[in-house]
Chains A and B, each alone.
Chain A
Amino acid sequence: MATEKTQASDVISGEWNVRYNYSVGKVAGTFFDALKERKILATKSSKSGISYLPPRAYCERSFEPCDEWVEAGHEGVIEAATIVSAAFEHLPPPPYAIAYVRLDGIDTAMINFVRNLDMSDVGAAMEKLKPGTRVRVEFIDDPKGEVTDFHYVL
C-alpha cells in the first residue's frame, strides 16, 4: 500500500492518568511511625550482622529475615552526592542537592535531599559534598510519618 501522506508530521496527542494506593506493610509502617517521633529505624539481620536503611524485611546477603530494629544515628557520612541544575517534569525545581548518606551505626546509605546549601556556585557547593563529608539529620517541624520528614544538612 503506497500512501502519499502529505501531513507526515501529524501527531495524535494522549495522556495517561493512573491512580494507586500502595500497601505499606509492617516494616515500612514501623519506620514511618518512628519518624513521627524523630527516630530513624533500620532493620538488622543477626545472621549477617548487616543493618539496612532503607529498612528491609529480609536480608538478601544471608537469605534470612531481618530480625532486629536498630536506631540510626542522626549524623553520618556522604557516600555520593550531586546537585541537579536541569528541570525535569514532576521533579523539584532546580537547583537541589541529593546524597546517599550512611548514618552512624548503619551499614548502608540512604538517599535524601541536602538542604540549606548555598548552590549559587555549583562547583563550590560540590566541594562541600565530597564522599567522606560528615552531615547531620534535620527533621521538619511537624513530622507526618513520611520519608520526607527529614533531610540532611552540613
Chain B
Amino acid sequence: MSPQQVAVIGTGQTVFKKHHDDKTYVELVQDATLAALADAKMTPDEIDAVVFSMAPTEFAGIHDIEKWSVDSIFGAGKPLMRVHTGGATGGSALHAGYTHVASGLFRNVLVVGADRVAETPDAQHILNLIWDRFYEFDFALNTVTMTALSTQRQMARYGTTEEQFARVVVRARANALKNPYAHLKGKITVEDVMNSPAVAWPYKLFDCCPRSSGGAAMVLTTLDGAREKCASPAFINGVGATTSTVFQGDKTGPKADVEYADLAELEIAGKEAYAQAGITDPKKQIQVAELYDPFSSMQFPQLESLGFCERGEAPALSDAGAFDLGSDLTVSPSGGSLCTNPIGVTGLVRAIEAANQVMQRAGDMQVSGVRNAVATAIGGSAQFYTASVFGADHL
C-alpha cells in the first residue's frame, strides 16, 4: 500500500523571545494555531485530528502541558496525541501528522505546540535529568556538554577550528535579521563570537542557542484538500527517521555502528527521506536546508550526512560562502536553531520554514527558485534523528 500524498497548506508562528509576559502558555499555543488555520483558510471544525508537539514540560513548569492546551487548540472532540522525542519532537510530530494523512485515516491534521524554555532559570539542570541515575547522570551531561564532547571529537577528526564554527554563528544571526519571528539576530563578527564567555570547550556563549518562548503550528491535508484550499502547497515527499542508543560512548571505537562525531544517524534518516522523495542528487535538487543546529558545530556534520558534501568538507565550503543566502544551497535562511530554540517546537519551526520556502511564502527570507527543501531535527542523548523533504511538486 503506497501512502497518500500529504501537503502543507498553512503554517503559523508567534514571535520567539525569552519571555512572553503578556500571555500564558495556552494563549501562546492558541496564537500559533489561529495563525496556521488562517494561513490554511480553514476553520477549527475542519480539523480532523491534532498532533501536539512538546518536549520536556519541566521547562514550562506544567507537567504534561498538552492536557491544559486541549481547549486552546480546538482539540476537544478529536483524536489528539502528544509526540515527544526531545529536540527532535517537532520533526517527529510532523511525521506523526504526515502518517495520519498518508494512511488515509484523516484528511486535515493540525500539528501544533509551544514552549517556554526560560520559565525556569536553568534549562541545563532539567536536561541533565534525562540521563540514568546509575551510570551517566553524575557527570554533568546536558545538551551543552554532550554536544561539546562530540564537537571536540569532530575537531580532532577533521581539523575544524573554533573560527569556522564562529562563521556559522555570524551567518545565522545575519540571516535571522530577515526573520520577524527570530529570537537572536544581528550583525556580529567572528571576533564577537570568539570573545564571548566560555561555556564548555570549544563553545563560547555565542556558539549556543538562546532559551526561547513561542508557538508554532502547521496544517496538513490530502492532495484533494490542497487543490481546494491552496494554490502553492508544499508536498511532504520524504520522511526519514532513525534512533540510537542513549549511551553516546557506544558510538566510539572500532566496533561502533555509527560515528559519534558525524551525527551519522542523520545519514540513515536522510537516505530514507531522499529515496521516498526521488532525490538522487541533493546538491542539484535541494535549494534550502533548515537544519536543527542549536550549537554552532552541528551544521557541518549534518550537511555531510545529508550528502551536500563529503565528510570533512563542510567547514571549508562554509568559509567560502557555499551555504550563504542565494548560493546553490542556502542553509537555514531563518537563522535556524542557533538564533531561536523553543525546544518543543524547534523541529516544527524547521519544517515550517522549509515548507514556507517551497510555498514561496517565506517573506523577506524567501530564496528564489526553491523547488525542494530539507528540514532536520535531532533529540535526546544524540538519539532521535528526523529528515523531511518538502517539494513544490507532488510525487
**A contacts, CB < 8 Å to B:** 5, 8-11, 14, 16, 20, 22, 24, 28, 49-50, 52-54, 60-61, 79-86, 88-92, 96, 98-100, 102, 107-113, 122-123, 126, 129-132, 147-148
Contact of B121 among A50, A89, A111 (CB under 8 A): A89
Cβ A107 vs Cβ B253 within 8 A: yes
Q: In the complex, what distance in Å separates the CA atom of A22 from the CA atom of B129?
A: 13
> Would you call B22 and A54 a contact (CB within 8 A)?
no
- Quick check: is B67 within 8 A (CB to CB) of the other chain? no
B7 sits at the interface (CB 8 A): no
Give the contacts of B91-128 with A (CB-CB under 8 A). 121-122, 124-125, 128
Q: Could you write out 24 A-B pairs with CB less than 8 Å apart?
A: A8-B21, A9-B21, A20-B133, A52-B247, A79-B249, A79-B252, A80-B149, A85-B198, A88-B128, A89-B124, A90-B128, A91-B142, A98-B145, A98-B149, A100-B249, A102-B253, A108-B247, A108-B253, A109-B252, A109-B253, A111-B141, A112-B139, A131-B156, A132-B156
* Contact, CB under 8 Å: A54 / B136: yes
Nearest CB in chain A: distance from B152 CB, A: 6
Query: Are A82 and B22 closer than 8 Å at their CB atoms?
Result: no
Q: Is the C-beta of B369 less than 8 angstroms from some C-beta in chain A?
A: no
With contact pairs A79-B253, A89-B121, A126-B201 given, residues A22 and B133 touching in the complex (Cβ less than 8 Å): yes
Q: Chain B contacts of A110 at CB under 8 A?
A: 135, 249
Q: Name the residue on A nearest B150 (C-beta).
A: A80
Q: Are B249 and A50 in contact (CB under 8 A)?
A: no
Separation of A99 and B145 alpha carbons in the complex (Å):
10
Which residues in B have their C-beta under 8 angstroms from that of A9?
21
In the complex, chain B residues whose CB is within 8 Å of the CB of A130? 156
Q: Could you tell me the distance between the alpha carbons of A52 and B251 in the complex, rounded to whole angstroms?
A: 12
- The interface residues of chain A, by DSSP majority, are classed as loop
Q: Interface size of B by Cβ–Cβ distance < 8 Å?
A: 47
Contact with B152, one of A81, A96, A147 (Cβ below 8 angstroms) = A81
Does the CB pair B135–A5 fall under 8 Å?
A: no
Q: Which of A86, A122, A148 contacts B138 (CB 8 A)?
A: A148
Q: B140, A80: Cβ atoms under 8 Å?
A: no
Contacts of A24 in B (CB 8 A): 134
**Contact call A108/B249, Cβ cutoff below 8 A:** yes
Find out whether the CB atom of B135 lies under 8 angstroms from the CB atom of A54.
Answer: yes
Q: Give the most central of B61, B121, B254: most A CB within 10 Å.
A: B61
Q: Which residue of A lies closest to B20 (CB)?
A: A8
Kindly list chain B residues whose C-beta atoms are within 8 Å of the C-beta of A10: 21
Contact, CB under 8 Å: B145 / A82: yes
Contacts of A90 in B (CB 8 A): 122, 125, 128
* B145 engages A89 (CB within 8 Å): no
What is the minimal beta-carbon distance from A121 to any residue of chain B, in angstroms?
Answer: 11
Report if B250 contacts A (CB, 8 A).
yes
Q: Is B395 an interface residue (CB 8 A)?
A: no
The yes or no answer to B18 lying at the interface (CB within 8 A) is no
A60 touches B245 (CB 8 A): yes
Distance of A14 Cα from B58 Cα, bound (Å): 12
